[in-house]
């Protein structure tokens, strides 16, 4: 009999059948079961739909698409305030939870609910400063805020000038190769600027990780080379012969690929950048949106300096560029960049984001301070006078 008593649930007499279990205990177990099922559904993304014939409260768990506006839980219904502190406390917990809770017929906690779980993209969009962003038909674009805030300043990496010569290293083609992208973000210091190509996968997540690690971000724009289409920079290439509207639409599509960048740099573009009319229109649009521009130095007849000066666009041509198969080694080009920085106060070098290049840059920059030079993000060089 003693053993029977030990096997009996608290609150029951030994020998009672299942039918004798108190209703509060059965309902508690049922609530626990429903909570477990809802929890599993939340993790796996399964949608639970209530059936009209079933009593009780069933949660519907849906995914949310990212938006610029922060989603917030509805304010507690004041008409229900008389139900006591438990209800208001639960409403406060919901409001601070980061999920959007929508109840049928406008009810308040607790009750039948639709819990909208923010998609992974919500965190990425949350990193965008809505003051310098606007929606368009193709996506979110940078803009100058109503109060005059510039994206190139809002998203710039902080930098304190020390009077030492500054070197800006821009890694190009980030976002294309998985290993090169991961190495660029994790192996290099935040002072090195990362230029993301517009055709990579999962760009918003990659850019978000790079920004969290302190890197300043640039957008790489494909432009028409002299031997186009034999050399084709890809879809949405900006072309010298294209109509103005077509080029602007392509530029907007490219600008919408991710957010949080301080400026734009070219990918190829010798033909377009030598055309004073078509090129000027595109640089004007870049300037109108509060961005800076880096000419990577590959276009010998580029009109960047002339146009930028006329429209007051912060722009500069890279002092050195490392290209695959170049006669000079990366080590030689880095040494020349140092000499130019000492002579002029600052210098910029553009380097492809290849794993071998990244390892060499990581080794090179460790001894830079001992040679009296400092790494600087691009925004600390372009648009700022040399010392």
pLDDT at residue 17 in the model: 42
- Three-point CA angle 189, 256, 351, nearest 5°: 35
Percent of the chain at pLDDT exceeding 90: 63
Per-residue confidence band for 29, with pLDDT thresholds at 50, 70 and 90: low
Per-residue confidence band for 127, with pLDDT thresholds at 50, 70 and 90: low
How many whole angstroms separate alpha carbon 350 and alpha carbon 332?
14
- Strand 320-321 to strand 346-352: parallel, antiparallel, or no bridges (unpaired)? parallel
How many whole angstroms separate alpha carbon 225 and alpha carbon 298?
10
The correct answer on CATH 3.20.20.370 for the domain covering 127-380 is yes
Which residue in 328, 329, 324, 312 sits closest to 382, CA to CA? 312
More confident residue, 81 or 332: 332
pLDDT at residue 330 in the model: 97
User: What pLDDT, in 10s, does the model give residues 166-196?
Assistant: 999 999 999 999 999 999 999 999 999 999 9
C-alpha dist (Å) from residue 83 to 77, 88, 110: 11, 8, 11
Mean per-residue pLDDT of the chain: 78
DSSP 94: H
User: What pLDDT, in 10s, does the model give residues 152-161?
Assistant: 999 999 999 9
Q: Per mean pLDDT, which range of 6-20, 225-239, 290-304 is the poorest?
A: 6-20
Kindly write down the DSSP assignment for every residue of 310-362, as one continuous string: HHT--EEE-SEE--TT-SS-HHHHHHHHHHHHHHHSEEEEEEE--HHHHHHHH
At 75 the three-state DSSP class reads: coil
C-alpha dist (Å) from residue 220 to 146, 210, 213, 284, 286: 26, 15, 20, 17, 12
Q: HSE, CB side, 13 Å, CA atoms: give it for residue 303.
A: 18
- For the cut 80, the answer to whether the pLDDT of residue 386 exceeds it is no
How many whole angstroms separate alpha carbon 238 and alpha carbon 219?
14
- Strand 133-135 to strand 140-142: parallel, antiparallel, or no bridges (unpaired)? antiparallel
Find out whether 241 and 250 touch, Cβ atoms under 8 Å: no
User: What pLDDT, in 10s, does the model give residues 318-346?
Assistant: 999 998 878 899 999 999 999 999 999 99
pLDDT at residue 344 in the model: 96
pLDDT at residue 60 in the model: 38
Residues 37-62 have a mean pLDDT of 42
Q: Per mean pLDDT, which range of 44-58, 310-324, 328-342, 357-371 is the poorest?
A: 44-58
Percent of the chain at pLDDT exceeding 70: 66
Per-residue confidence band for 283, with pLDDT thresholds at 50, 70 and 90: very high
Per-residue confidence band for 288, with pLDDT thresholds at 50, 70 and 90: very high
User: What pLDDT, in 10s, does the model give residues 222-269?
Assistant: 999 999 999 999 989 999 999 999 999 999 999 999 999 999 999 999
Per-residue confidence band for 384, with pLDDT thresholds at 50, 70 and 90: low
Residues of the chain with CATH 3.20.20.370: 127-380
Residues 35-64 have a mean pLDDT of 42
Residue spans of alpha helices (H) in 101-156? 120-126, 151-154
Kindly tell me the burial class for residue 75, based on how many C-beta atoms sit within 10 Å of its own C-beta (0-12, 13-18, 19 or more): exposed
Q: Classify the C-alpha dihedral 97-102-103-106 as positive or negative.
A: positive
Helix axes 355-365, 330-344, angle to 10 degrees: 40
How many whole angstroms separate alpha carbon 38 and alpha carbon 50?
12
How many whole angstroms separate alpha carbon 386 and alpha carbon 347?
10
Written as six digits, the tokens of 366 are: 């460790």
């Amino acid at each position: 009999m003693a053993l029977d008593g030990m096997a009996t649930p608290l609150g029951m007499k030994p020998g009672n059948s299942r039918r004798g279990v108190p209703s509060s205990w059965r309902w508690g177990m049922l609530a626990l079961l429903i909570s477990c099922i809802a929890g599993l559904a939340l993790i796996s993304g399964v949608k639970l739909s209530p059936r009209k014939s079933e009593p009780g409260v069933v949660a519907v768990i849906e995914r949310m698409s990212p938006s610029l506006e922060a989603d917030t839980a509805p304010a507690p219904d004041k008409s229900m305030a008389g139900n006591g502190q438990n209800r208001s406390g639960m409403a406060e917990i919901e409001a601070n939870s980061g999920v959007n809770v929508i109840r049928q017929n406008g009810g308040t906690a607790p009750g039948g609910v639709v819990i909208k779980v923010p998609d992974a993209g919500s965190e990425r969009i949350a990193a965008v400063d809505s003051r310098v962003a606007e929606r368009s038909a193709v996506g979110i674009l940078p803009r100058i805020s109503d109060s005059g805030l510039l994206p190139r300043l809002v998203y710039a990496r902080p930098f304190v000038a020390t009077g030492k010569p500054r070197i800006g290293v821009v890694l190009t083609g980030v976002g294309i190769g998985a290993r090169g992208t991961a190495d660029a973000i994790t192996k290099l210091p935040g002072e090195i600027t990362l230029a993301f190509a517009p055709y990579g996968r999962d760009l918003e997540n990659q850019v978000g990780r790079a920004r969290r690690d302190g890197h300043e971000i640039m957008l790489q724009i494909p432009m028409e080379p002299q031997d186009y289409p034999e050399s084709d920079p890809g879809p949405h290439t900006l072309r010298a012969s294209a109509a103005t509207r077509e080029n602007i639409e392509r530029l907007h599509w490219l600008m919408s690929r991710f957010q949080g960048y301080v400026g734009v740099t070219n990918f190829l573009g010798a033909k377009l950048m030598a055309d004073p009319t078509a090129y000027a229109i595109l640089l004007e649009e870049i300037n109108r949106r509060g961005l800076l521009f880096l000419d990577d130095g590959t276009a010998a007849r580029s009109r960047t300096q002339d146009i930028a000066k006329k429209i007051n666009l912060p722009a500069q041509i890279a002092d050195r560029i490392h290209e695959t198969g170049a006669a000079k080694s990366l080590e030689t080009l880095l040494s020349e960049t140092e000499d130019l920085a000492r002579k002029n106060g600052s210098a910029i070098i553009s380097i492809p984001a290849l794993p071998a290049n990244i390892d060499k840059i990581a080794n090179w920059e460790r001894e830079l301070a001992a040679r009296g030079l400092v790494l600087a993000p691009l925004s600390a060089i372009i648009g700022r006078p040399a010392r």
